[in-house]
Chain A
Amino acid sequence: MSAEVMDAPPQLVPLNAIFSTDFVEILVPVTTANTMDEVAAAVADHVEGKRVRAQPFRKVVVHRGRKLPGEMTVAEAGFAPLDHVAVEYDLEVPA
Chain B
Amino acid sequence: MALLKREEWQDFVRDVDWTLTYVDDEAVYPEWFSGTGKVPREAWLAWEEDYKVSYQEYVYTQKEKEASTYAVKAALSRSDTFDHLDEGWKSATKMHFGGVAQVEYTATLAELKMARFGLNGAWRNMATFGQLDELRHNALTTYFGHELVVKDPQYDWTQKTYTTNDWVPISLRTLFDGIMTTSNVVDCALQVPLAFETGFTNLQFVALSADALQSGDINFANMISSIQTDEARHSQQGVATLQILAEHDPTRAQWVIDKAFWGSARAFSALTGPAMDYYTPLEHRKQSYREFMEEWIVDQFVRTIEDYGLKKPWFWDEFMRGLDTWHHSLHMGLWFWRPTIWWRPKAGVSKDERDWLREKYPNWEQTYGDKWDVIIDNVNANNVEATLPATLPYLCSLCHLPCCNPTQSRDGSWRVRNKPLSYDGKTYHFCSNGCRQIWWKDRDNVNHETLVDRFLAGQIQPMDVGGLLNYMSMTPDVMGDDADYEAWTKDYVGRPATGLAVPAGAQA
Give chain A's interface residues, CB within 8 Å of chain B. Answer: 14, 16-18, 21-28, 45-46, 48-55, 80-84, 86
Contacts and interface: CB of A to CB of B under 8 A. Distances in A.
Contacts of A81: 427, 456
A26 B403 CA distance: 8
B371 interface: yes
Given A21-B413, A23-B406, A50-B501, A84 B393 contact: no
A86 B416 CA distance: 10
B406 A84 contact: no
B329 A23 contact: yes
B391 A23 contact: no
8 contacts: A24-B402, A24-B403, A25-B403, A25-B418, A46-B391, A49-B378, A50-B387, A54-B501
Interface residues of B, number: 41
B427 A82 contact: yes
A17 B413 CA distance: 19
How would you classify the secondary structure of chain A's contact residues: helix, strand, loop or mixed?
loop
B452 interface: yes
B216 interface: no
A24 to B, nearest CB: 4
A84 B426 CA distance: 13
B178 interface: no
A50 B389 CA distance: 10
Given A18-B416, A25-B418, A26-B393, 14 more contacts: A16-B418, A16-B427, A21-B371, A22-B371, A24-B332, A26-B392, A27-B456, A46-B391, A52-B370, A53-B498, A53-B500, A55-B499, A81-B427, A82-B426
Q: Interface centre among A22, A26, A52, A83, by most B CB within 10 Å?
A: A26
B336 interface: yes
A55 B498 CA distance: 9
Given A18-B416, A21-B413, A23-B332, A50 B374 contact: yes
Contact of B386 (A25, A28, A50, A55): A50
Contacts of A83: 427
B371 A51 contact: yes
A23 B420 contact: no
A54 B499 contact: yes
A53 B374 contact: yes
Contacts of A14: 456
Q: Interface centre among B368, B414, B418, by most A CB within 10 Å?
A: B418
B365 to A, nearest CB: 13
A61 B368 CA distance: 23
Given A14-B456, A25-B404, A54 B500 contact: yes
A16 B419 CA distance: 11
Given A21-B415, A24-B329, A82-B427, A50 B394 contact: no
A53 B369 CA distance: 12
B375 interface: yes
Contacts, number: 102
B371 A52 contact: yes
Contacts of B452: 27
Nearest to B426: A82
How would you classify the secondary structure of chain B's contact residues: helix, strand, loop or mixed?
mixed
Contacts of B413: 21
Interface string B363-390: 0000010110111001000000011011
B420 A84 contact: yes
Given A82-B426, A83-B427, A84-B429, A51 B392 contact: no
A80 B403 CA distance: 19
Contacts of B420: 16, 84
A52 B374 contact: yes
A24 B332 CA distance: 9
B455 interface: yes
A80 B394 CA distance: 16
B333 interface: yes
Contacts of B498: 53-54
B404 A51 contact: no
Nearest to B373: A53
B416 A25 contact: yes
B487 interface: no
Contact of A26 (B332, B371, B391, B414): B391
Contacts of A16: 394, 403, 418, 420, 427, 429
B232 interface: no
Contacts of A48: 501
B404 A24 contact: yes
Given A23-B333, A27-B391, A53 B370 contact: yes
The 10 A-B pairs with the shortest beta carbon distances in the complex, nearest first, are: A49-B501, A53-B499, A54-B499, A24-B404, A25-B394, A82-B427, A25-B403, A84-B418, A51-B371, A27-B392
B500 A27 contact: no
Nearest to A86: B418
A25 B393 contact: yes
Nearest to B392: A27
B337 to A, nearest CB: 9
A20 B413 CA distance: 11
Contacts of A80: 427
A25 B393 CA distance: 6
Contact of A23 (B378, B416, B426, B429): B416
A82 B107 CA distance: 35
B502 interface: yes
A50 B381 CA distance: 12
A23 B393 CA distance: 10
Nearest to B375: A51
Contacts of B329: 23-24
